[in-house]
Amino acid sequence: EAGVAQSPRYKIIEKRQSVAFWCNPISGHATLYWYQQILGQGPKLLIQFQNNGVVDDSQLPKDRFSAERLKGVDSTLKIQPAKLEDSAVYLCASGGDPNTEAFFGQGTRLTVV
């Protein structure tokens, strides 16, 4: 079974530029999550999708972050414009059963300079 795929693995941008990350979840998984992991901290949930609907985006900075999950499969997370404090690893995870664990991708490491 293929795991959660994310791209790119690394990205370096200047502040005020825009950036997008892509996630392909495990086939058949209805739930998709984006987490932000700042260096030295645990991952923090940004947004949770169930199929193509948003379940929880209370921690998403909506003035600059946006996410979509068209057709309930792949998802993109966008930051526009980026700030220095957005430097982090962005992790995508998917889950198929609410009573089991979520599976994580390898993440995208974003550096804003």
User: Considering the rule CB under 8 A, would residue 67 count as an interface residue with other proteins?
Assistant: no
Buried residues in 69-93 as b, exposed as e (16+ CB within 10 A): beeebebebebeebeeebbbbbbbb
Buried residues in 11-29 as b, exposed as e (16+ CB within 10 A): bebeeeeebebebbbbeeb
Shortest distance (Å) from residue 81 CB to other proteins: 27
Part of the chain binding other proteins (CB under 8 A), chosen from 12-20, 44-52, 60-68, 69-77? 44-52
Shortest distance (Å) from residue 7 CB to other proteins: 13
Among 23, 24, 48, 79, indicate the residue that binds other proteins (CB under 8 A).
48
User: Considering the rule CB under 8 A, would residue 104 count as an interface residue with other proteins?
Assistant: yes
User: Considering the rule CB under 8 A, would residue 45 count as an interface residue with other proteins?
Assistant: yes
